């Protein structure tokens, strides 16, 4: 199970707006760069992203937030109890008329907050149909004007772990797709970071070489020449 919270950027927005936790603590918890969290606080990053309450989602407790607020060196710890609950196998059951609006509103919530989920994944999560999901996604659903996004976990249509598993699966698929699209490309990176962890992450994303800022034009020319010869199998 990943230690990263569900919807990390939206969670970071909520923590910035509602707590006194430091940018570094939020960045470490949400697996973001500290400057990215500062950008959220300044309004330059995550514009339009609705804050996601990690307390209501069961990912953090108030006590955990209060403890880390008092000690800036104390990292936030993800509450795994709710995430480790096994997903129950879904069974078809009668849905009262008063609750039937919950499904299309849950679909709307998922298309907005987890847009990379496929229509099929959303169908499995909330028990809707592909036609309904597609219509809500492209705003052609017959009752679109009366829909309000509603968290499917709150509506008891699926569990937090169900959504997290679906998102993780969609993320892995997206990574594989990007790797296939960029398989024949070579990437260089200009960065101020020098840590081994940063280099390792860059390598995992397909970066073949990097230059530390500030740099000279001659360094880029040399790096491109070096990598070109390497790709062509020439002696360097």
Taking only the tens place, the pLDDT of each residue in 159-191 is: 888 998 999 899 888 888 877 666 666 777 788
Are 169 and 200 in the same domain? no
Are 163 and 227 in the same domain? no
Are 16 and 72 in the same domain? yes
**Domain that residue 225 falls in:** 186-231
139-161, pLDDT tens digit by residue? 999 988 989 998 888 888 888 88
- DSSP states of 131-187 as a string? HHHHHHHTT--TTGGG-----TTTTTSS-HHHHHHHHHHHHHHHHHHHHHHTTT--E
pTM of the predicted protein model: 0.52
Are 168 and 199 in the same domain? no
Are 119 and 161 in the same domain? yes
Residue 66 and residue 87: Cα distance in Å, rounded? 30
112-149, pLDDT tens digit by residue? 999 899 999 999 999 889 999 999 999 999 988 989 99
Give 1's pLDDT tier (boundaries 50, 70, 90).
Answer: very low
Are 217 and 155 in the same domain? no
Give 203's pLDDT tier (boundaries 50, 70, 90).
Answer: confident
pLDDT at 70 over 80: yes
- Overall number of domains in the chain: 3
Is residue 201 situated within a structural domain?
yes
Q: Which residue has the tokens 């740099």?
A: 215
Beta strands, E only, the chain = 187-191, 207-212
pLDDT at 81 over 80: no
Exposure of 110 by Cβ count < 10 A (0-12 exposed, 13-18 middle, 19+ buried)? buried
C-alpha atoms less than 13 angstroms from C-alpha of 216 in its C-beta half-sphere: 3
Neighbours of 28 (CB within 10 A): 14
Is residue 122 situated within a structural domain?
yes
Are 22 and 49 in the same domain? yes
Residue in 59, 218, 191, 15 with CA at minimum distance from that of residue 24: 15
Domain boundary among 49, 83, 117: 83
Are 149 and 102 in the same domain? yes
């Amino acid at each position: 199970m990943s230690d990263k919270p569900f919807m990390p950027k939206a969670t970071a927005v909520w923590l910035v707006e509602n707590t006194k936790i430091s940018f570094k603590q939020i960045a470490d918890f949400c697996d973001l760069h500290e400057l990215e969290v500062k950008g959220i606080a300044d309004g330059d990053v995550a514009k339009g992203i609705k804050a996601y309450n990690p307390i209501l989602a069961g990912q953090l407790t108030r006590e955990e937030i209060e403890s880390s607020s008092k000690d800036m060196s104390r990292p936030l710890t993800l509450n795994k109890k709710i995430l480790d609950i096994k997903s129950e196998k879904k069974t078809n059951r009668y849905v009262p008329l008063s609750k039937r609006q919950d499904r299309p509103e849950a679909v709307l919530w998922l298309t907005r907050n987890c847009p990379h989920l496929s229509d099929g994944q959303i169908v499995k999560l909330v028990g809707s149909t592909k036609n309904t999901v597609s219509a809500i996604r492209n705003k052609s659903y017959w009752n679109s004007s009366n829909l309000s996004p509603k968290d499917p976990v709150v509506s008891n249509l699926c569990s937090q772990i169900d959504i997290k598993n679906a998102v993780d699966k969609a993320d892995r698929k997206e990574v594989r797709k990007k790797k296939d699209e960029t398989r024949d490309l070579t990437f260089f990176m200009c960065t101020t970071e020098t840590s081994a962890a940063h280099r390792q992450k860059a390598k995992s994303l397909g970066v073949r070489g990097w230059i530390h800022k500030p740099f000279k034009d001659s360094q880029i020319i040399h790096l491109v020449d070096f990598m070109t010869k390497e790709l062509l199998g020439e002696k360097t």
